[in-house]
Amino acid sequence: MLLVALALLSPAAATTTARKRQAASHFETAEQLREALNGRPAGERTRREYQRVIDAYRRVYYTSPVSKKADASVVAVAELLAEMGRALNNPKISQEAIAQYEFLRREYPGSRHRVEALFTIGQIYREDLEDNEHAKATFEDFLKRYPRSQQADDARDALSEIEAEKNAPKPAPRDKPGEPRQISDNDSGKSAKFARVTGIRQWSTPDYTRVAIDLEKQVKYQAGRVPDPDRIFFDLYDTRLAPELVGKSFDVKDGFLHRIRVAQFKRGMTRVVLELDEVVEYSAFFLPNPDRLIIDIHGKRAAATTARLDRDPPLAKSAKGGAPAASSDAPAPKTRAALKPVANVPSSGSAVWPAAATSKDSGSMESATLNETEIKATSKPTTSPTYQAVAPRAPRDKKARSKQASLAIHEAKPTANGEQTLIRTLGLKIGKIVVDAGHGGHDAGTIGPDGYTEKELVLDVALRFGKLLENRMGAEVVYTRDDDTFVPLETRTAIANKEQADLFISIHANSSRDPVARGVETYYLNFTSSQDALEVAARENAVSEKSIHELQDLVKKIALKEKIEESREFAADVQQSLWGTAGKGTRNRGVKKAPFIVLIGANMPSILAEISFLSNPRDERKLETPEYRQQIAESLYRGVAKYVSGLSGLKLASKMPKDGPQ
């Protein structure tokens, strides 16, 4: 069989266990590559870039056909082929996607993906190839094989629509093969009316979840919650699911997010449902280029879960959504992770509400009336940011009330402005710091006159800076990237939240049309009307100025006084240290506030440091020397150390040198 032949590609001396470990490592790499691809605008993705990710997933089951990740990798290849065929309007590639799904059903008959694979084949025939004859035969075969499947109703609906389309007017002609399909609101063809929902990604911790819903273009949405048990829902208007997302389910079983469900709620409306533990607050906002709706949810952490986390560091868990990595597989990377691609989510053919799962049928979905229980966060369809705080439930017993009331409050130093923030009042300490090197991969950032790129500059400084934090301060350091990898902006903050970090610092280099512009400046997240600040934010966000102005109304929780005040204090300490290192004649551009996307949603004090002007020829020559980059790393360290000294100390004080922070 083919699988036996593929297995022979591995070294003959390698054991089955070793191949499984190697396959797990290949899978992690493929996931990171896919996340980087998802971060590029759909119109800029090339066939070569798709092929690179496809080859990475194929390497998984080539290495070990019996790996736990083998069938998931086969599915990923099929999904990428379907997406590429759609993006390039290439029917041949769509046929390759069908062949890949058939390969899964033939070679992995025990895979949990085999049922949805057959359904997706029918969807590709119908949606992408517009081949109703083969689609009809596939859906009929599906119903014959799996009459009780969750997708059975969807298959029956598809057959009914195919029958109805026989007498309907013919759709507008397709674009020429090889050209991306153009979507027009005036197009009468069924495939051109609505923007596709192309993917869902998630990141979970015991008390925080970030979900990214990828779309072909920005659409209006409504958000709401249904309590007992808590479910958050988002209705996306004028949308339809990509074929590979129709009729599928995804169980996360990680942190307090249990399941993600998606349904074509009705024609032109997609509903995304998140089943979670008790919710404290949630928010949503759009990010452009590529368009995606970002959802942040904060929940309560059970006492048992807290105790377990105290014993087991978060890094011991899988960095992806889903169960922790098995001992036989390679562990999740400790320095960088990607949002989990949710390739398979459910759909229902009728307007139904996914009910809470029961022990008898964890995948069941039943009709329910929402009007009596839903709590809307939006009054009407909108593209604006939304925020919803959920009133906490009263403690269930006297013991819990007593524990809640016994919270001790300690004295702490005020900030430079004389403020007593919650962080200082409670005597909270610093333990883990996330260091974010800006840009990376295809995103070079600023390029100096001699060709030195921002992405390589800030990565070198970040690694030097992180080593100082570890060796001198004893802090635990997490890097959003430790090599030349592109990490989407929303992923960087999600990494910090997932790692339950105490500080977040993003490192960048500045640019100006004026070649003599010099200086250092440090930003913290807040809203501003300053044109200069918005211009810098626009460059770092790689979005239009209009999009940045739209962030003015973003999520109330990021404007909490404690975090903003601490971020400002943190920024001031780092800025003063940076300026002291920059040298004579360098301008102190000060501490500023701006709506940087990379800082949005962070649960901890967060800053963005512009360490120099790479556009200045003189400064570029200095930045190219390792000695000067080390000086910058030292100055960043001194700024952090000064900020930490104003708090109650370090959580990991046992690792500190006897004389404390240097």
pLDDT, average across residues 126-133:
92
155 and 260 co-located in one domain: no
239 and 108 co-located in one domain: no
Q: Can you give the pLDDT at residue 526?
A: 62
Q: Can you give the pLDDT at residue 593?
A: 75
384 and 432 co-located in one domain: no
204-218, 319-333, 363-377, 489-503: range with lowest mean pLDDT = 319-333
User: Distances in Å between the alpha carbon of 527 and those of 256, 334, 451, 562?
Assistant: 31, 33, 33, 15
Q: Each residue of 598-648: pLDDT tens digit?
A: 677 777 888 899 999 999 999 999 999 999 999 999 999 988 988 887 775
- Report d(CA 210, CA 493) in Å as an integer: 10
Residue with tokens 């003959």: 12
In a domain, 555, yes or no: yes
Looking at per-residue pLDDT, the higher value among 182 and 592 belongs to 592
pLDDT band, very low/low/confident/very high, at 255 (cuts 50, 70, 90): confident
588 and 461 co-located in one domain: yes
pLDDT band, very low/low/confident/very high, at 13 (cuts 50, 70, 90): very low
Q: For residue 324, is it left (φ>0), alpha (ψ between -120 and 50) or beta?
A: beta
pLDDT, average across residues 57-78:
94
Q: Can you give the pLDDT at residue 318?
A: 29
3-state secondary structure of 358: coil
258 and 301 co-located in one domain: yes
Q: Each residue of 490-536: pLDDT tens digit?
A: 889 889 888 888 899 999 999 988 888 888 898 887 655 466 665 66
* Closest by CA position to 182, among listed 372, 43, 75: 43
445 and 384 co-located in one domain: no
pLDDT, average across residues 107-124:
92
Looking at per-residue pLDDT, the higher value among 548 and 282 belongs to 282
Contact 388, 280 (CB under 8 A): no
Consecutive H or E run containing 478: strand 476-479
Q: Strand 257-266 to strand 588-594: parallel, antiparallel, or no bridges (unpaired)?
A: unpaired
316 and 427 co-located in one domain: no
In a domain, 646, yes or no: yes
pLDDT, average across residues 226-239:
88
pLDDT, average across residues 41-59:
92
pLDDT, average across residues 411-423:
61
DSSP output for 269-329:
EEEEEEEES-EEEEEEEEETTTTEEEEEEEEPPPHHHHHHHHHS-GGGS-SSSSSPPPTTS
In a domain, 182, yes or no: no
Check whether 119 has a pLDDT greater than 60: yes
Q: Among 166, 199, 215, where does a domain finish? A: 166
In a domain, 173, yes or no: no
Q: Can you give the pLDDT at residue 551?
A: 44
pLDDT band, very low/low/confident/very high, at 228 (cuts 50, 70, 90): confident
Contact 76, 57 (CB under 8 A): yes
Alpha-carbon dihedral sign for residues 476, 505, 218, 558: positive
380 and 440 co-located in one domain: no
In a domain, 88, yes or no: yes
Give the domain CATH number at 573.
Answer: 3.40.630.40
pLDDT, average across residues 24-45:
88
pTM recorded for the entire structure: 0.60
Which of 218-249 are b and which e, b meaning 16 or more Cβ less than 10 Å from the residue's Cβ? Answer: ebebbbbbbeeebbbbbbbbebbbbbbbbbbb
80-94, 205-219, 638-652: range with lowest mean pLDDT = 638-652
Which of 185-198 are b and which e, b meaning 16 or more Cβ less than 10 Å from the residue's Cβ? Answer: eeeebbbbbbbbbb
Give the domain CATH number at 285.
Answer: 2.60.40.3500
Phi, psi of 653 (to 5 degrees): -65, -25
Q: What is the CA radius of gyration of the chain?
A: 26
Residue with tokens 């002609």: 173
Check whether 27 has a pLDDT greater than 90: yes
Give the domain CATH number at 32.
Answer: 1.25.40.10
pLDDT, average across residues 450-457:
94
pLDDT > 90 in the chain, percent: 32
Q: Each residue of 146-185: pLDDT tens digit?
A: 998 888 888 998 899 898 887 666 655 555 554 544 444 3
In a domain, 22, yes or no: yes
3-state secondary structure of 539: helix
pLDDT band, very low/low/confident/very high, at 545 (cuts 50, 70, 90): very low
Check whether 30 has a pLDDT greater than 80: yes
pLDDT, average across residues 193-221:
88
pLDDT band, very low/low/confident/very high, at 347 (cuts 50, 70, 90): very low
219 and 299 co-located in one domain: yes
In a domain, 639, yes or no: yes
Q: Strand 520-525 to strand 588-594: parallel, antiparallel, or no bridges (unpaired)?
A: parallel
pLDDT > 70 in the chain, percent: 67
Q: Tokens representing 336?
A: 């960088």
145 and 210 co-located in one domain: no
pLDDT, average across residues 220-245:
89
pLDDT, average across residues 216-222:
92
pLDDT, average across residues 283-305:
77
Q: Can you give the pLDDT at residue 327?
A: 31
| Number of folded domains that form the chain | 3
In a domain, 402, yes or no: no
Q: Can you give the pLDDT at residue 212?
A: 92
Check whether 550 has a pLDDT greater than 50: no
459 and 591 co-located in one domain: yes
Mean per-residue pLDDT of the chain? 75
The full 3-state SS of 78-125, as one line of letters, equals HHHHHHHHHHCCCHHHHHHHHHHHHHHHHHCCCCCCHHHHHHHHHHHH
15-29, 396-410, 594-608: range with lowest mean pLDDT = 396-410
The domain of 231 spans 191-356+371-389
Q: Can you give the pLDDT at residue 302?
A: 44
20 and 106 co-located in one domain: yes
pLDDT, average across residues 655-660:
43
Check whether 215 has a pLDDT greater than 80: yes
Alpha-carbon dihedral sign for residues 87, 102, 30, 288: positive
Check whether 7 has a pLDDT greater than 80: no
- Report d(CA 215, CA 197) in Å as an integer: 5
Long-range contacts of 46-53, Cβ-Cβ distance < 8 Å, separation of 24 or more: 47/84, 47/88, 50/80, 50/83, 50/84, 50/87, 53/80
